[in-house]
Structure 1
């Protein structure tokens, strides 16, 4: 029996074994070892389909820069996935994956994402 479904909406990276990709794989492996089912979505379109069809989701890992189709608007794919997750699930924990450059955009009042969350300041290199 699984402990619940966790969606990993993170694109495959072509640059090989990056530290980020390796860390996400380790996190996924630990979750599976602890009884969670992990559903992968490589594009925003795939992630939205998972959100529409999976009622037992207990958390999501979403890349802000998730690829979208050419017909989609100008905002990153992760923005639409976060908006849909917020509308479909009540209090769903979502872990946002970003390279850090987008944090100021996310915290701005004109951000495409609105909700009761706050973006904490990034940690310094020494962890403080």
Structure 2
């Protein structure tokens, strides 16, 4: 599936597993996206505010803080990126689910990843030219 013209984006991949980050990065870059990585809750907060992150793919369990800490850091960005939460076993509570655009099980199939990213980009406001 080739990226749609104008619908590529900067995507944050936040996961404490380097292999998961690498696989997601390769899959997203192959579709024309720019990928920024974070490996814990603190590094989510440290992502350069000048990078216009459209989507954050966020592992529910990372060291260095809670999922709420990561979501708070993302909520401080303008505009706030859409968040796709990844979870292997945990079912997030309603307060977490209310703050994210979607939930996917790990390991996520790459076709599902691309479909979810495309849907989130389609739902996002178009940048003004």
TM-score normalised by structure 2 residue count: 0.59
For structure 2, the residue ranges without an aligned partner over 5 or more in a row are 1-6, 106-129
Which of 16, 21, 31 in structure 2 is aligned with 1:11?
16
Q: 1:83-102, aligned counterparts within 5 Å?
A: 83-90=72-79, 92-101=81-90
The Cα offsets for residues 1-28 of structure 1, whole Å up to 9 and x where unpaired, read as x933111110026xxx7xxx3xx65443
CA distance in 2, matches of 1:41, 1:3: 20
User: Could you say which residue in structure 2 is the equivalent of 1:58?
Assistant: 54
How many residues align? The count is 99
Change (3 A) 1:118 1:67: same
Question: Which structure is higher in RCO with an 8 Å CA cutoff and minimum separation 6?
Answer: 1
Q: Which runs of 4+ in 1 moved over 3 A?
A: 24-27, 113-120
Change (3 A) 1:5 1:119: closer
User: Which structure 2 residues correspond to residues 88-127 of structure 1 after superposition, within 5 A?
Assistant: 88-90=77-79, 92-101=81-90, 103=91, 105-107=92-94, 111=95, 113=96, 115=98
Distance 2:15 2:63 in 1: 9
Q: Kindly indicate whether the alpha-carbon contact (under 8 Å) linking 2:84 and 2:100 is maintained by their aligned counterparts in 1.
A: no
Unaligned stretches of 5+ residues in structure 1: 69-75, 123-128
RMSD: 3.3
Q: Distance in 1 between matches of 2:99 and 2:41?
A: 23
Q: CA deviation at 1:32?
A: 0.2
